[in-house]
Chains A and B, each alone.
Chain A
């Protein structure tokens, strides 16, 4: 049984799982947060898709005899995958790419064999070499792709050939940029190492904005790869984001400014176990991003702490701060000689707003209501008070982490879930932050 809103999803997944005639009964949508008396009406009423009485339909689904087709094993038909598309005029091909959902809705560069061959010259890897596999989310099937297929999408995104190893590094991680969830996921990709200067990425003014071809096209390419090579991004089938997420256009692709780091602050890729001389992409997964342009009489590290304490979105137990170099320098000057020292301070000194804590900790709430300390005293202070439990600490203390099924991690667990990256042009003491968690890093150099 599934709610009626997901008919397209469940029928296509059933087909791809090998049960094209799965017997399904639909309920009205949504079911979540509906009171019992309404649910009673629902079950006594019809399946909204078929019009049949729900209970009768359930019973029939469990007892009606199978057809001959239902009993058979074998293979289900899939459309063949030609390497080249049928010839047509450029105008018609562009329209065809849009109609087939090959694009992000913006114009693309048509991937002729000549353009793809130029892109392939930027890597020593063979065109038919496997790069990886990718799926929209765990229940969905994974698609597979080669170096040549990634090159096709890189051309479409408007990338220069010198960007291709960086794009291959992203593709090799097999993480879709358009995770299929009703919560509208977003991704971030940070580039570190010598490749940043080699390909002319922007770490200065407007680093996070549409101001640089490398920053823009590399991030965009991740979306095209996800849609075309990872089977993601088809609304209703492999993409369910209720409102969608603007960040999916470019996936917050930017480089870290390693020259702008305070002394003692390691670049992100070094924190994750790479050498400074390595070129690396690091992927993050989250939902929301804030641009904090704010002046305060409080020291900047206190402002950041306060924001972390009260920041709320879907991802409530992880955060990534993107600091302008001026802000990073100011924080370091306040006595935080490393990024780790600052994230430890933040994790140790942030509580959780009461309303959020009690809504996420059912056991603690039961204990509070039963008079067990310290929960009872915390609870007495009201929903607006801050509970002295950090949501960013790992391994003891802290609220339960969000499930990590949407992201994978390469490195060992640090003591908290706060990451820091530094980028920007230093025109003001502003910074950004979001509910992004680290999802793994990949070497660019191995794809040169």
Chain B
């Protein structure tokens, strides 16, 4: 009788079970709900109705547009704020820079609801709450997701070998040329992962928009929630989820997140 031995195959079993239970089956369920509905006789039937409904409803399309706008503006602001910071920190030889980096990252570890509530109080204090709903939502998103932009940018920038920058200036590049022709292109993997890390949650995180706009701004995440809980329409909720998934998928394809990046010198890519 041979003793029972662990092999790599057996170690995979828990993960396979996890994937099947929590990824594959739920995905299939969402797909099932998205493309089914109650037929004329009350039976369950296959339908494109939800899909057509989404793209013909002005309300839903404007929610989609709103989500897009908020996400794009938030992501752009995060990038503009985070890049110089990450650049300065990554390029500095200051020994205590990690402390500073930590301080910027630390909000990530404080309860999210608490932070948003605190921000709400602050906005109330300066008199913005209830007046500037868009601005407040964007401030919230930026405040909340900034660390997710800083971190990948910092890792990528820090890993860029200094000799590339020296080579560029050696070949006649001034500081601006070195940045535009070498530093920035080499930091693209970090930029892309930062964008994906911020853009996607900005489209769906309705706790931010609800809290800071007094429920005046509806983004896609909120819409999904409403269909599942308030309207009890799981089919439409699933369809919106699928559409969101496709949008994210397409954005990633466009930003090159799926590109097979064999060049290790290009640095960290969180995706």
A binds B: no
- B residues whose Cβ falls under 8 Å from a Cβ of A: none
Query: Hey, which bits of chain A sit against chain B, CB under 8 A?
Result: none
